[in-house]
Amino acid sequence: MPEFFLEIFSEEIPARMQAQAATELERLLTPVFAELKAGGVKTYYGPRRIAISAIVAAEKPGSAVEERGPRDSAPEQALAGFLRKHNAAREELVAEGGYYVLRRNLAPVAAAALLRETLPAALAKFSWPKSMRWGSGGDFTWVRPLRRLICLLDSEVIPFTLGPVTAGDETEGHRVHGPGPVTVSSVAVWEEKLREHYVVVNQVERREKIAAGMAEQAAALGLSVAPDEGLLDEVNGLVEWPVPLIGKIDEKFMDLPPEVRELSMKINQKYFALRDASGKPAPYFAFVANLAADDGGKAIIAGNERVLRARLSDARHFWDLDLKTPLDALLPKLEKITFHAKIGTQRQRADRIADLAADIATLLDGTPEQIGQAADAGLLAKADLVTGMVGEFPELQGVMGGYYATKTRGPAVGGAIRTHYQPKGPSDEVPSGIVAVSVALADKLDTLRAFFAIGEKPTGSGDPFALRRCALGVIRIILENGLRLNLKPLLNGDEGLFDFIIERLRVKLRGEGKRFDVLDAVLAAGADDDLVRLMKKVDALGVMLGTDDGKNLLSAYKRAANILRIEDAKDGPHTGEPDAGGFEQAEENELWRAMGAVQAELYAPLEDGKEGLLHAEQYGEAMRIFATLRPAVDAFFEKVTVNAELPKLRRNRLQLLARFRDTVNQVADFSKIEG
């Protein structure tokens, strides 16, 4: 089968756009590939090119097509329009069932002809986050000026025009090491010749070469490269011939906070931080040049070290300047920053967070000192927004406040400020310790309360204020720290807000492959806003339902519920205490006795040092006791006719079943459990 190859060569494509562009190219060509039964599709991307290859059929097979046209009574104009649309003659139509019908046998189409016809229209639909017009290309737009186009089918050029260029068989190598046109005849030749001209076209190979080269250079110094997959992806999109190098950081900058130093290196220069054997920051940085210098990179390294000194000198200026003003002196500036027009200023928000953080610390049985620290950290948590360093690097908000507060307020307050935005994502750690969790929860709960109060709730996929992330952060902080808190009072009793958080909990469980239907069942059995206790119940019930006894108990419950639903519709409800003296069969008495025993174990009042399993939160043992109902229920359904002929006996048995259903529902509403 023929090999198809397409390369689109342009001026430098922004690194962040390259991978998506390759995906877009494959998407646009998928309908064309489908016509030619393509396989082995492979995409390439780099700083100046995106490309795609595939194995395709030599032709599109012939086929018979049938199109129904207008009614045979339609006016001539309608018929003429149909004929023009399909480039058909009147003689090709037949009348059937009151309509004109066009039938044709389409001949096979050679792959080259199909590609030449379809590629221009397909590529014209290419979309970039940003694009530009240039020269005399008319309305054609591309991310950067387009320079060359290769389109080959088994080494033969398929000539078509895209904007200002026409497809041929030439590309270009490295700007410095391999300039000028390079003629290719296949994908393999393209890769080989470009490598000879100092271009690694395969993005996976290029990325591995960058990572391995930096690791090797660092290891020679007894160091390692700090992992940064995002930066590695970005650098991969900046170089065609990666040459990893190591530079040195002046010792005078090593006392800067590592986040400041490393973020400046990353954002401004695309440098990687290095670590020593103990994992501490090392006075070196790794970077990737796009050419192999005759001096082994000495001049390139020296130039980059010089640039870094200037960058870190700026950072040092902001650091020293910020340290001159304590955070509490910055609070008046927060009065001039609007958080949201309907919610108020950042200063008003700081006051609310301080009060709420103190309340939460109190609920968590914090000491008077911890409660005071929580209030202090809450008040100062947003003060670093007006510092010079955060103005330069917004990514460091919270982090810088933590450093500044530690110097004047101590590590507890500083640490709480540093971590109060956490967790920012699913892989981010949650804060720990009473002061830190109090401030982090207060920050997120205040955001949720404020936006829900003004009716700004997420809708569909839209969540401009990241309230879903806030809610998930609340859940993770509570669960991963085992915090015993009643959530509803902290939400100002807003049921809608509580439901929103529970929905986030459902999504979390679903993402972890856990049963969120069990959560719904537990919630339906009784209001519980202690998330730790709630999840203990969910976990214990989930374990029970995974056993044979649990599965059979669920089946028995659903059978009982169905019988009661049908019979209640006739003459129900069948509530009330069944008459134990009216039981006629041993199985009725055994079910009644078993339910009494379970009730005694689960709900025994606190007396003589003993308390019911549910009150003691011994949910695993409670579920085991609960599952002991299974034999009695199985025997009841096997031996007892519920709808007895005698009305009194029938009603008594239905009341017994209702008691069984209600006993189960005290633990969880099994009707909400799937299966």
pLDDT of amino acid 136: 65
pLDDT reported for residue 150: 98
Residue 608 has pLDDT above 70, yes or no: no
CATH class of 329-514: mainly alpha
Handedness of CA 334, 336, 338, 344 (dihedral sign): positive
Question: Residue 439 and residue 524: Cα distance in Å, rounded?
Answer: 31
Residue 218 pLDDT level (bands cut at 50, 70, 90): very high
Give the C-alpha distances (Å, rounded to integers) separating 12 from 18, 174, 472.
10, 12, 40
pLDDT of residue 91: 83
Cβ neighbours of residue 127 closer than 8 Å, sequence gap 6 or more: 24
Written out in words, the top-level CATH class of the domain with range 544-672 is: mainly alpha
**Is residue 203 very low, low, confident or very high in pLDDT (cuts 50, 70, 90)?**
very high
pLDDT at position 656 is 94
pLDDT of residue 609: 52
Long-range contacts of 234-237 (CB under 8 A, 24+ apart): 234/15, 234/16, 234/270, 235/15, 235/210, 235/270, 235/288, 236/15, 236/203, 236/206, 236/207, 236/210, 237/13, 237/14, 237/15, 237/16, 237/18, 237/19, 237/45, 237/46, 237/47, 237/203
More confident site: 215 or 93: 215
Report the alpha-carbon distance of residue 222 to residue 277 in Å, rounded. 7
Mean pLDDT value across residues 611-639: 88
Q: Which two tokens stand for residue 146?
A: 């387009």
Q: Looking at residue 33, what is its pLDDT?
A: 95
Q: Which whole number is the average pLDDT over 340-358?
A: 97
Q: Which burial class, exposed, middle or buried, applies to 465 when counting CB atoms under 10 A from its CB (0-12, 13-18, 19+)?
A: middle
The pLDDT value recorded for residue 276 is 96
Pairing of strands 338-340, 344-345: antiparallel
Asked if residue 605 has pLDDT above 80, the reply is no
- Which tokens is 651 given? 């009603």
- Average pLDDT value for the chain: 93
Using DSSP's 3-state secondary structure scheme, residue 381 falls into: coil
Q: Average pLDDT for residues 343-366, to the nearest whole number?
A: 97
| Residue 631 contacts residue 595 (beta carbons within 8 Å) | no
Beta bridge partners of 3: 55
pLDDT tens for 225-243 read 999 999 999 999 999 999 9
CA count, 13 A, side-chain hemisphere, 604: 16
Question: Which pLDDT score is estimated for 79?
Answer: 87
Average pLDDT over residues 451-462: 91
Burial 52-67 (b: 16+ CB within 10 A, else e): bbbbbbebbeeeeeee
